[in-house]
Amino acid sequence: MTTPPITSDLTGQAAIVTGASQGIGRAVALVLARNGAKVACVARNAEKLRETVAAIEGAGGQAMAIACDVKDRVSVDGAVDRVADQWERLDILVNNAGVTRDTLLPRMSDEEWDEVIDTNLRGAFLFARAASRHMMRARYGRIINMASVAGLIGNAGQTNYSASKAGLIGMTRSLSRELAGRKVTINAVAPGFIESDMTQAIGPAVLEEAAKRIPAKRLGRPEEIAYAVLFLAGPAAAYVTGQVLTVDGGMTG
């Protein structure tokens, strides 16, 4: 980072970050831990999760790895309860787990639609529902859903992905109205093109052309999304709820 990172006092707080094995999720987990949170790192790939946990612990933080299928209610409920029981609290949930199965609509299979919607939207719903029960009892909580500019403006070949992210935005706004009275805030972050394994799969030629259309003339870095999450997860954002923080280098204007 060329500018000093922001900080937030999360000392003693317990967080769950889904999709924490790589990319944005890994960056979010590391940033939350550096600011004092204990972080439960959730993903399907247990080996990559161990790498994230090792990085947190190597920097003096506290973390645990939880292998979990975010589409499965029993698995999600068990993961949330494990964190709340072991750390005796749950303060922050970052719903970051997501997949893409890109193709034009006439060629999109039922399975490609279902996998993206179930992972990106159902998974976030399951985690938010389970976490909100603990947060409402504690009368405190921060839920941050990882949306996308694709959920705001759409993207050809990503009907399933765009629908899942637009759904996350709608869910964020509705839940914020339900939970604000219990001091639980719900917000979304909508990244643009970010350097990650997911975007690298698009191919260098497409990414180079995309960067030309971004006013900032570059792709974002995972850490830049992580610091947006950090603000929404911290005490300074107590009066911010139901909002979508777009971090896209000016792409959507």
Round to whole Å and give the CA distance between 111 and 143.
29
Residues 6+ apart with CB under 8 A from 130: 76, 77, 79, 80, 81
Task: Give yes or no for residue 1 having a pLDDT over 60.
Answer: no
Catalytic residues: 161
Read off the pLDDT band of 252 (50, 70, 90).
Answer: very high
DSSP, residue by residue, 126-173: HHHHHHHHHHHHHT-EEEEEE--THHHH--TT-HHHHHHHHHHHHHHH
Round to whole Å and give the CA distance between 105 and 118.
18
Residues 6+ apart with CB under 8 A from 225: 24, 27, 28, 146, 189, 191, 194, 247
Task: Tell me the pLDDT of the chain averaged across its residues.
Answer: 94
Nearest CA to 52 out of 44, 42, 112 is that of: 42
pLDDT in tens, 27-39: 999 999 999 999 9
pLDDT at 3: 54
Nearest CA to 86 out of 67, 72, 65 is that of: 65
Read off the pLDDT band of 13 (50, 70, 90).
Answer: very high
Residues 6+ apart with CB under 8 A from 145: 95, 124, 128, 168, 169, 171, 172, 186, 187, 188, 189
Q: Give the mean model confidence (pLDDT) for residues 119-125.
A: 98
Give the whole-number percent of the chain exceeding pLDDT 70.
96
Q: Which residues partner with 246 through β-bridges?
A: 190
Read off the pLDDT band of 202 (50, 70, 90).
Answer: low
Residues 6+ apart with CB under 8 A from 234: 8, 9, 10, 35, 142
> Are 19 and 93 in contact, with CB atoms under 8 Å apart?
no
Residue 221 CA, distance from chain mean position: 14
Round to whole Å and give the CA distance between 43 and 54.
15
pLDDT in tens, 54-107: 999 999 999 999 999 999 999 999 999 999 999 999 999 999 999 999 999 999
Read off the pLDDT band of 183 (50, 70, 90).
Answer: very high
Task: Give yes or no for residue 119 having a pLDDT over 60.
Answer: yes
pLDDT at 209: 79
Task: Give yes or no for residue 250 having a pLDDT over 60.
Answer: yes
Read off the pLDDT band of 207 (50, 70, 90).
Answer: confident
Domains in the chain, ordered, with CATH?
14-247 (3.40.50.720)
Q: Give the mean model confidence (pLDDT) for residues 236-245.
A: 98
pTM: 0.94
Nearest CA to 149 out of 205, 97, 220 is that of: 220
pLDDT at 212: 85
pLDDT in tens, 214-236: 999 999 999 999 999 999 999 99
Residues 6+ apart with CB under 8 A from 10: 32, 35, 36, 37, 91, 92, 233, 234
Nearest CA to 189 out of 222, 229, 158 is that of: 229
DSSP classification of residue 107? G
